[in-house]
Homo-oligomer: A and B are copies of this chain.
């Protein structure tokens, strides 16, 4: 049996047959600690390969060197589900000729599997791998836990290169992605900076406004009719969302409610809920902190889930379709409940849907929690700068000043009113915000499309235009 271990990333690139004009893919479990994308792109550039599409599940500030590769036309197209502010600002100012294609964490695997967004060479950053490419995120100095987003890349790319800093004897016990999909394995000194991969402990908010929103959020869940045995739940890693998870745990423990599953990007707060009996299992597409990594490594009830199983709309079913409640964030919400998580109010890219619109579409109750205003800019507006998640999929907006229920959910509205919660029309929240901040001027933008927002099912949802250079 010929081995798959090759001497360098450069050698793996050459062996993969990568040529100019092709598509390379990356996953983002190493988050802002990821070295792999930069290491690979540096070698690709050195080899003189250009006009590539970078097809990444998310891009972080650490990937800023991509801007140089864009300038030199090594990279001429980007497909991603999320882009943090540093790259986002440059893209918004017009750094690329071709618009970025934003998909969702469920739409991306769907597009890969159906062939709408094929991959030539996938690079898998693996915290542990054996010589044949059986690999996992659970073990090693760069452990990140789940490799959920990397599954579609591994399963459908024409060539697959595993890059690891923890090469172990065959077979890796407890692999996630099997060798059956892997062409080459490269050992490097470090695939990432542990400090950037996961946070030590994600902290809940201490901000009184955040705590108030979290408290409202839990009361909305309590009175939604959904909080009963079999309950399923997802929340993000923002401070107020984490506070909501903690408060929800207290309620579930007190009322002895035995839920079924916690889903999504998993934090230690969800792990606490599992351990205290609030859930039977966690379905984990990505670990956000060390406690989650430790849990997925040691607790068989804490299961890794592929991006398709998590949220793809074109597999036979996915977990988001079984979700009762999801708590989500927003940079803007408009009076039609459309949500923007792609840009700031100035129109500069600083995020992306991730699993936002997938979970909103799947969950019985999709709740946005957001403060009425941030940095003197109102959250609630007439019209969001960018539609990331359509208003038809959002059920409730929770702010510190009141709770707005989508008119499409009159029964929920009645329930919350009867429970004495401060339910108000969403227009009132807009007015309340504008009393503090004034009516914002619409941000100026140019006529050049810098990004297309593609819905989870593949339709064009919105277009993001260039903004003036700073």
Binding site for B on A (CB under 8 A): 1, 4, 132-133, 160, 169-171, 173-175, 178-183, 230, 260-261, 280-281, 283, 300-301, 303, 305-306, 308-309, 312, 315-319, 321-322, 362
Instruction: Report copies per complex.
Output: 2
- Does A316 lie within 8 Å of B173, measured CB to CB? no
Contact partners of A170 in chain B: CB under 8 A: 260-261, 322
- Return A213 CB to nearest CB of chain B, in Å: 28
Contact partners of A321 in chain B: CB under 8 A: 1
- Does A283 lie within 8 Å of B171, measured CB to CB? yes
| Among A308, A312, A315, A316, residue most surrounded by chain B Cβ atoms (within 10 Å) | A316
- Return A9 CB to nearest CB of chain B, in Å: 18
- Return A159 CB to nearest CB of chain B, in Å: 9
Residue of B nearest to A229 (CB): B169
Residue of B nearest to A131 (CB): B322
- Return A319 CB to nearest CB of chain B, in Å: 7
Residue among B182, B283, B309 making CB contact with A180, cutoff 8 Å: B309
- Does A318 lie within 8 Å of B180, measured CB to CB? yes
- Report 23 cross-chain contacts, Cβ distance below 8 Å, ordered by A residue: A1-B321, A1-B322, A1-B362, A4-B316, A132-B317, A133-B317, A169-B260, A171-B260, A171-B283, A171-B319, A171-B322, A173-B280, A173-B281, A174-B303, A178-B309, A179-B315, A179-B317, A179-B318, A180-B308, A180-B312, A180-B315, A181-B315, A182-B316
Residue of B nearest to A320 (CB): B1
Contact partners of A261 in chain B: CB under 8 A: 170-171
Contact partners of A305 in chain B: CB under 8 A: 178
Contact partners of A133 in chain B: CB under 8 A: 316-317
Contact partners of A180 in chain B: CB under 8 A: 306, 308-309, 312, 315-318
Residue of B nearest to A181 (CB): B316
Are A182 and B317 CB-contacts (below 8 A) given A171-B322, A322-B171? yes
Contact partners of A308 in chain B: CB under 8 A: 180
Residue of B nearest to A280 (CB): B173
- Does B174 lie within 8 Å of A230, measured CB to CB? no
A433 to B300, alpha carbons, bound, how many Å?
A: 54
Residue of B nearest to A364 (CB): B1
